[in-house]
């Protein structure tokens, strides 16, 4: 019946989130530790797994709605799981993008602006972890705290952009590397944004409040 | 892996006099799962479920063609003892129909007519059956009261307990909730999902939402034809036949 279906769905989504967290962590570790094996794990082994989760959770949500006609909090839960599933699928793609650019970068001399990337990655990845614990505990306060961290990631992204721009002016043979680095920063920024989506979705499940597009003002 | 089939219905056609009600219907009924027979009035779903424990034998002008295998044997073969068969394949009807006797007697009756009179044994079966039908807690202190003093939902659970008392393998439900309110309906549905761990269940319903909630497999019948059979999850999300899609979206029926 419905309560069992919802708990199966939650369990599956949490497993998916754990996989995506690992993908992001490994793509950054690969970059910092110059370990191409980690990139290949993300691209070849984990991405197909992530796609399977995506398909399976989509199907489970559709069937749950069709068979059990969930209402109120149950309906919000199933609909938001459907959205979180999409958020996680995008994040998995971002981890793959980071790995692809990482592969290009670690085979070449390192760029100085790279120093900021691990910090940015650490914050984005913590945001994802916290958004998932907010979901597990159905805790909207934790979700709100995560939203506040988005600015840190955005600021780091801006700083990387500035440093990369300066670097490109000086070193013309580093343009391609710079673009790859920018791509990594952009993908991390998207991971942080998608983590805030998950938090908005948790708040909607718990409180029934739609706070999308209201960051900064009263949420 | 496909679970074992308890029934295999093969090209079943049935007639009341000259009127054909089922037209070459084929489907399996899997062990320890719930199969819904769904469709608009007059589609033949009740006729079909009544074939499964040979209730239609009692209808004068009834005739059938095709085959039903029960545990791989012909259900209509001459050496089948129909009384034993109906003990193994119990049935619960649309309207609760307890006997005008005490709650206890309703459950014990089936065993008593089999000649069982050991009090301790009967007490045990009464308690166990009422437990399994999720009614024990509500009636344990009033077993001697008339079954007719129970609410409609309780009466229906009593009828389920009565069916369970004779240790069936299969329980057939013919619109078991159509006379019940939503809360009593929810209780019966919950009970059906629990019972499938130990019993094979077939249920006739014209309530599509109920078929969706309780069953693992669904057969959709329309004007005597079986239009589609499959897992409930698939049929309610991506039905294969246009007529199933139209029925589920309320375009007819």
Segments in B64-207 forming alpha helices (H)? 82-88, 103-112, 119-132, 136-139, 152-165, 182-195
* pLDDT over threshold 80, residue A112: no
CA pair distance B225, B29, nearest whole angstrom: 17
The mean per-residue pLDDT over the stretch B94-115 comes to 93
Give the residue from A17, A153, A4, A174 showing the smallest Cα distance to A88.
A17
Provide the residue ranges of all domains of chain A, joining segments of one domain with +. 2-217
* pLDDT over threshold 70, residue A219: no
Cβ-Cβ contacts under 8 Å, A67 against chain B: 212-213, 232-233, 236
* 3-state DSSP assignment of residue A1: coil
- Per the model's pLDDT, the better-predicted residue between B218 and B207 turns out to be B218
- Return the H-helix or E-strand segment holding B21: strand B19-30
- The sign of the torsion formed by the CA atoms of B177, B180, B181, B183 equals negative
Task: Please tell me which residue of chain B has the smallest CA distance to A69.
Answer: B209
B231 and chain A: CB distance < 8 Å anywhere? no
Provide the residue ranges of all domains of chain B, joining segments of one domain with +. 5-248
ipTM for the whole complex:
0.72
* pLDDT over threshold 70, residue B32: yes
Rounded to 5°, the CA angle A132-A54-A103 comes to 85
Q: How many CA atoms lie within 13 A of B191 on its CB side?
A: 28
User: Cα A72 to the chain's mean position, in Å?
Assistant: 27
CATH fold, domain B5-248, is Rossmann fold (3.40.50)
Interface contact flag, B236 A66, Cβ < 8 Å:
yes
pLDDT in tens, B138-164: 999 999 999 999 999 999 999 999 999
Kindly report the nearest CA distance between residue B86 and chain A, in angstroms: 29
Interface contact flag, B212 A68, Cβ < 8 Å:
yes
B194 and chain A: CB distance < 8 Å anywhere? no
- The reported pLDDT for the residue numbered A113 is 63
A58 and chain B: CB distance < 8 Å anywhere? no
A69 and chain B: CB distance < 8 Å anywhere? yes
CA pair distance A199, A145, nearest whole angstrom: 9
Q: How many CA atoms lie within 13 A of B64 on its CB side?
A: 27
Task: Please tell me which residue of chain A has the smallest CA distance to B209.
Answer: A67
- The reported pLDDT for the residue numbered A216 is 57
* pLDDT over threshold 80, residue B206: yes
- The reported pLDDT for the residue numbered B253 is 61
- The sign of the torsion formed by the CA atoms of B194, B187, B83, B30 equals negative
CA pair distance B253, B232, nearest whole angstrom: 19
* pLDDT over threshold 90, residue A215: no
* pLDDT over threshold 80, residue A33: yes
pLDDT in tens, B209-219: 999 999 999 99
pLDDT in tens, B49-101: 999 999 988 888 999 999 999 999 999 999 999 999 999 999 999 889 999 99
- The sign of the torsion formed by the CA atoms of B133, B138, B140, B145 equals negative
Q: What percent of chain A has pLDDT over 90?
A: 84
pLDDT tier at B47 (50, 70, 90 boundaries)? very high
| Both structure tokens of A166 | 């300066």
- The reported pLDDT for the residue numbered A209 is 87
Task: Please tell me which residue of chain A has the smallest CA distance to B208.
Answer: A67
- Residue A87 in contact with residue A198, Cβ under 8 Å? yes
* pLDDT over threshold 90, residue A173: no
Residues B53-80 as b or e (16 or more Cβ within 10 Å = b): bbbbeeeeebebebebbbeeeebbeeee
Question: At B37, phi and psi to the nearest 5?
Answer: -110, 115
- Return the H-helix or E-strand segment holding B50: helix B45-51
Give the residue from B150, B227, B157, B151 showing the smallest Cα distance to B195.
B157
Interface test with A, best of B36, B212, B249, B250 (most A CBs within 10 A): B212
Sequence-distant (6+) residues with CB within 8 A of B130 are B103, B107, B136, B139, B140, B158, B161
- The reported pLDDT for the residue numbered A59 is 96
pLDDT tier at A218 (50, 70, 90 boundaries)? low
Mean pLDDT of chain B: 93
CA pair distance A82, A62, nearest whole angstrom: 9
Per 3-state DSSP, chain B is made up of helix, strand and coil in percentages (nearest 5) of 40, 30, 35
* pLDDT over threshold 80, residue B116: yes
The mean per-residue pLDDT over the stretch A124-138 comes to 95
pLDDT in tens, B119-134: 999 999 999 999 988 8
* pLDDT over threshold 60, residue A217: no
Which residues share a beta bridge with B229?
A: B219
Architecture of the domain defined by A2-217: Up-down Bundle (1.20)
pLDDT in tens, A187-202: 999 999 999 999 999 9
Segments in chain A forming alpha helices (H)? 2-32, 36-40, 47-68, 72-106, 116-137, 140-170, 175-207
pLDDT tier at B250 (50, 70, 90 boundaries)? confident
- The reported pLDDT for the residue numbered A110 is 82
CA pair distance B187, B93, nearest whole angstrom: 16
Q: How far is CA A167 from CA A102, A179, B148, in A?
A: 18, 11, 89
Kindly report the nearest CA distance between residue A1 and chain B, in angstroms: 7
Interface contact flag, B233 A68, Cβ < 8 Å:
no
- The reported pLDDT for the residue numbered B187 is 86
- The sign of the torsion formed by the CA atoms of B187, B45, B165, B3 equals negative
CA pair distance B152, B158, nearest whole angstrom: 10
Residue with tokens 């708040």: A203
B50 and chain A: CB distance < 8 Å anywhere? no
């Amino acid at each position: 019946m419905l309560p069992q279906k919802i708990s199966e769905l939650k369990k599956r989504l949490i497993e998916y989130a754990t996989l995506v967290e690992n993908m992001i962590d490994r793509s950054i570790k690969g970059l910092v530790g110059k370990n191409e094996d980690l990139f290949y794990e993300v691209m070849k082994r984990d991405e197909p797994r992530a796609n399977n989760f995506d398909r399976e959770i989509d199907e489970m949500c559709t069937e749950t709605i069709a068979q059990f006609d969930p209402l109120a909090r149950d309906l919000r839960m199933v609909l938001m799981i459907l959205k979180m599933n999409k958020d996680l699928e995008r994040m998995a793609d971002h981890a793959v993008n980071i790995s692809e650019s990482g592969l290009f970068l670690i085979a070449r001399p390192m760029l100085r602006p790279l120093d900021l990337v691990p910090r940015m990655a650490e914050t984005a990845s913590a945001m994802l972890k916290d958004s998932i614990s907010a979901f597990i505990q159905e805790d909207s306060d934790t979700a709100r705290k995560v939203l506040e961290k988005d600015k840190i990631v955005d600021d780091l992204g801006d700083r990387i952009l500035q440093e990369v721009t300066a670097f490109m002016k000086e070193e013309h043979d580093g343009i391609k590397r710079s673009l790859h680095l920018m791509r990594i920063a952009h993908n991390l920024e998207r991971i942080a944004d998608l983590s805030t989506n998950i938090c908005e979705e948790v708040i909607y499940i718990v409180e029934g409040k739609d706070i999308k597009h209201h960051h900064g003002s009263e949420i | 892996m496909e679970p074992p089939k308890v029934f295999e219905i093969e090209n079943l056609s049935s007639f009341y006099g000259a009127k054909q009600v089922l037209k070459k219907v084929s489907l399996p009924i899997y062990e320890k799962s719930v199969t819904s027979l769904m469709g608009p009035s007059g589609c033949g779903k009740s006729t079909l479920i009544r074939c499964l424990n040979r209730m239609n034998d009692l209808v004068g002008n009834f005739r059938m063609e095709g085959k039903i295998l029960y545990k791989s044997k012909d259900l209509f073969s001459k050496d089948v003892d129909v009384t034993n068969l109906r003990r193994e394949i119990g049935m619960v009807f649309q309207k609760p129909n307890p006997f005008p006797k005490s709650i206890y007697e309703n459950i014990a009756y089936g065993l008593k007519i089999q000649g069982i009179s050991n009090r301790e044994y009967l007490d045990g079966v009464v308690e166990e059956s009422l437990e399994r039908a999720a009614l024990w807690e509500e009636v344990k202190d009033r077993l001697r009261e008339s079954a007719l003093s129970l609410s409609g939902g309780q009466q229906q659970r009593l009828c389920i307990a009565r069916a369970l008392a004779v240790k069936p393998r299969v329980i057939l439900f013919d619109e078991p909730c159509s006379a019940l309110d939503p809360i009593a309906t929810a209780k019966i549905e919950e009970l059906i999902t629990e019972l499938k761990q130990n019993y094979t269940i077939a249920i006739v319903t014209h309530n599509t939402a109920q078929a969706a909630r309780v069953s693992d497999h669904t057969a959709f019948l329309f004007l005597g034809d079986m239009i589609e059979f499959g897992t409930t999850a698939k049929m309610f999300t991506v039905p294969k036949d246009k007529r199933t899609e139209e029925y589920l979206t309320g375009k007819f029926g």
